[in-house]
Amino acid sequence: MQTVTANGAAIPALGFGTFRIPGPDTLRMVSQVLKLGYRHIDTAQIYGNEAEVGEAIAGADVSRGDVFLTTKVWVDHYPHDTFIASVDESLQKLRTDYVDLLLLHWPNNAVPLAEQIGALNEVKQAGKARHIGISNYTTALQAEAIRLSNAPLVTNQIEVHPYLDQSKVIGAARAAGLSLTAYYGMADGKVFSDPVLTEIARETGKSVAQLVLRWLIQKDGVIALTKTVSEARAAENLAIFDFALSPETVARIDALARPDGRLVSPDGLAPAWD
């Protein structure tokens, strides 16, 4: 699998995400995708399935050092002491003494950003996280986080799919040496009934999911997360590294973006988006 390099990190370009996957399905699917060849697993404290992710990795016929593991600190845990304790709890659940990437899950100004970034750096300095980053940050917040951090940030994980133009955030991330990790690539299932994507799938002999994932990882510095509870679909989604989309096809998919395309913007968490 190809990797994306960013500020010293080498991150597998396709990751398996576990958002909204119940514990038993998480255990089953993470075990299966590791057998298939996935080497990047993404979870979070708020997902409630870190323990199952940890159990699957511990039981896999893959060494821990070959798995790129990401988790995210939830906003309620941003005060310094709570932050440190929450990371220790995550590591215990994940059955590991470090994660490869630790992210701040959402912006939250109830705790000063300097305190959040300071705790993130402290965890990295202690060896509990090999790399650190942010999630759901705007270009302005990203710039401020970079300014406050002693250690380099390696990614900003945000919503990216054909209906949402995130070129501004992607460009700012790349200019600063960060990667961009794309979640919600299937637009909560909307892509599967899209006539343009369906037509391109017919023309290319690929599935709609394969097209979208390929469209994402062809962007400079972009990592795609895929999520499914089907072993067959997980295998299909991994088969995106032996073909490329033409510039014309990329342009057709890019043209699907619209001003109201954003799907994830929870009250009380969402910043003033770019």
35 located within any domain: yes
Q: Decide if 13 contacts 4 (C-beta within 8 A).
A: yes
- Pairing state between β 9-12 and 3-6: antiparallel
178 located within any domain: yes
CATH number of the domain to which 163 belongs: 3.20.20.100
134: Cα separation from own chain's centroid: 10
* DSSP symbol at 237: H
Mean of pLDDT over the chain:
98
211 located within any domain: no
pLDDT confidence tier of residue 64, bands split at 50, 70 and 90 = very high
The whole-angstrom separation of Cα 15 and Cα 38 is: 7
Instruction: For residue 214, give Cα distances in angstroms to 13, 47, 273.
Output: 10, 26, 26
Per-residue pLDDT, 129:
98
209 located within any domain: no
Average pLDDT of the segment spanning 39-54: 98
Sole residue written with tokens 């900003």: 156
Q: Is the pLDDT of residue 1 over 90?
A: no
- For the chain, what is the domain count? 1
Per-residue pLDDT, 31:
98
Q: Decide if 125 contacts 102 (C-beta within 8 A).
A: no
Token digits of residue 84? 């440190």
Tell me the three state secondary structure of residue 39.
coil
Q: What is the dihedral of CA 22, 28, 29, 31, to 10 degrees?
A: 130
Q: Decide if 78 contacts 108 (C-beta within 8 A).
A: yes
184: Cα separation from own chain's centroid: 9
- Catalytically active residues are 47
Average pLDDT of the segment spanning 40-56: 98
232 located within any domain: no
Average pLDDT of the segment spanning 77-106: 98
145 located within any domain: yes
Per-residue pLDDT, 49:
98
266 located within any domain: no
Q: Is 40 annotated as a binding residue?
A: no
User: How many CB atoms sit inside 10 A of residue 175's CB?
Assistant: 11
The backbone torsions φ and ψ at residue 196, rounded to the nearest 5 degrees and listed phi first, read -65, -45
Q: What is the pLDDT of residues 162-190, one digit of tens each?
A: 999 999 999 999 999 999 999 999 999 99
The whole-angstrom separation of Cα 58 and Cα 41 is: 13
Q: What is the pLDDT of residues 15-41, one digit of tens each?
A: 999 999 999 999 999 999 999 999 999
149 located within any domain: yes
Q: Which domain holds residue 126?
A: 3-186+219-226
